[in-house]
């Protein structure tokens, strides 16, 4: 009787698809950190299964890494997640704080996309997968990803408009222009192949977007605009990256908002 009761309490075995999904969820952070250098033993330990289970589910380690990278790329480009994250930003928080959060989220998503694209690129180089995968499958994947990225783009624009709307009456430009500037400030922190200065912190960028980088004629000599923080022209408000590595530049006091 006890044996029968114990058997009835046992979890229902996972289907092959559910097993693969569970493994991908468990090892995704590990693959994101180590890419192709992760070992089968490390993957099995992270998933809480034997190495043989991994091989039965995916065939080999590189196939598993490819499946994880594809899933990671889809998650980084997910319109539903993007919409939810932007909707969760407190609309009653100061505009600077809202924009800081937007920039943090945008940078993280872009970093995730770059990371997973890098894993897939390394996988192609390692295995010659471009020749092994049927071209129609590659085209289908690219088409699906392009559609998802476009949906994410629409969700992002709608979400950013929602973040800005409580202060729309304060904007000096149309809200669509403000959205474009905000997106550009996020996109400009990646693909820095021309030895550009390190990207300022999200807080510094948000402050510059709201208050500008130059004084106006109405600013005083001792502080920035009325009701706002000191302007970026003051030494104590400069991002240290603004002068670093420039020949002849005078070292500046680190920005108090920098981490």
Residue pLDDT, tens place only, 170-214? 999 999 999 999 998 888 766 555 556 677 889 999 999 999 888
> Average pLDDT of 23-50?
94
247 Cβ contact list (under 8 Å, min separation 6): none
Predicted local distance difference test score (pLDDT) of residue 17: 86
pLDDT band at 256 (very low <50, low <70, confident <90, very high): very low
74 Cβ contact list (under 8 Å, min separation 6): 145, 148
In 3D space, the residue among 115, 111, 154, 89 whose CA is nearest the CA of residue 33 turns out to be 115
> Average pLDDT of 46-53?
92
Count the neighbouring beta carbons within 10 Å of the beta carbon of residue 6: 9
Lowest mean pLDDT of 99-103, 117-121, 197-201, 223-227, name the range: 223-227
Q: Is the pLDDT of residue 13 over 90?
A: no
In 3D space, the residue among 19, 106, 101, 4 whose CA is nearest the CA of residue 67 turns out to be 19
Predicted local distance difference test score (pLDDT) of residue 116: 93
* pTM summary value: 0.70
Condensed to tens digits (0 to 9), the pLDDT of residues 72-106 reads 999 998 999 999 999 999 999 999 999 999 999 99
Condensed to tens digits (0 to 9), the pLDDT of residues 135-173 reads 676 778 788 888 988 999 999 999 999 999 999 999 999
Q: Is the pLDDT of residue 237 over 50?
A: no
Lowest mean pLDDT of 5-14, 24-33, 131-140, 202-211, name the range: 5-14
Predicted local distance difference test score (pLDDT) of residue 167: 96
Is 111 in a helix, a strand, or coil? Answer: helix
Predicted local distance difference test score (pLDDT) of residue 190: 62
Burial pattern 219-238, b for ≥16 Cβ within 10 A else e, equals: beeeebbeeebbbbebeebb
CA–CA gap between residue 243 and residue 249 (Å, rounded): 6
Predicted local distance difference test score (pLDDT) of residue 170: 93
Predicted local distance difference test score (pLDDT) of residue 128: 66
CA–CA gap between residue 89 and residue 117 (Å, rounded): 28
> Average pLDDT of 224-239?
42
Q: CB of 210 within 8 A of CB of 99?
A: yes
CA–CA gap between residue 57 and residue 116 (Å, rounded): 21
> Average pLDDT of 99-120?
92
Q: Is the pLDDT of residue 26 over 90?
A: yes
Q: Name the average pLDDT for the chain.
A: 79
Q: Which two tokens stand for residue 197?
A: 């200065």
Q: Find the DSSP H helices in the chain.
A: 2-9, 16-34, 40-47, 51-58, 61-76, 79-87, 95-127, 129-132, 135-164, 175-187, 202-211
CA–CA gap between residue 159 and residue 84 (Å, rounded): 9
Q: Which two tokens stand for residue 228?
A: 């706002």
The CA-based angle 53-58-61, given to 5 degrees, is 90
Q: Is the pLDDT of residue 130 over 80?
A: no
Lowest mean pLDDT of 7-21, 57-71, 124-138, 144-158, name the range: 124-138
H or E element that contains 174: none
Q: CB of 59 within 8 A of CB of 142?
A: no
pLDDT band at 220 (very low <50, low <70, confident <90, very high): low
């Amino acid at each position: 009787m006890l044996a029968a009761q114990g058997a009835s309490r046992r979890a229902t075995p996972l289907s092959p698809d559910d097993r693969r999904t569970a493994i991908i969820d468990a090892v995704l952070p590990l693959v994101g950190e180590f890419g192709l250098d992760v070992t089968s033993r490390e993957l099995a330990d992270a998933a809480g299964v034997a190495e043989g289970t991994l091989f039965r589910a995916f065939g080999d380690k590189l196939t598993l890494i490819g499946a994880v990278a594809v899933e990671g790329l889809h998650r980084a480009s997910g319109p539903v997640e993007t919409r939810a994250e932007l909707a969760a930003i407190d609309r009653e928080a100061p505009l600077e704080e809202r924009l800081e959060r937007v920039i943090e989220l945008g940078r993280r998503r872009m970093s995730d996309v770059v990371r997973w694209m890098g894993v897939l690129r390394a996988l192609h180089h390692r295995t010659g997968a471009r020749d092994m995968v049927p071209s129609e499958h590659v085209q289908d994947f690219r088409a699906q990803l392009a559609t998802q990225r476009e949906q994410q783009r629409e969700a992002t624009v709608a979400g950013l408009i929602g973040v800005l709307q409580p202060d729309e009456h304060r904007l000096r430009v149309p809200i669509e222009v403000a959205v474009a500037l905000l997106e550009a400030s996020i996109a400009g922190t990646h693909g820095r192949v021309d030895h550009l200065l390190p990207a300022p912190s999200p807080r510094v960028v948000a402050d510059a977007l709201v208050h500008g980088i130059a004084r106006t004629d109405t600013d005083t000599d001792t502080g920035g605009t009325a009701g706002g923080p000191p302007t970026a022209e003051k030494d104590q408000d400069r991002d240290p990256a603004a002068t670093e590595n420039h020949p002849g530049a005078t070292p500046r006091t680190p920005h108090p908002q920098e981490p």
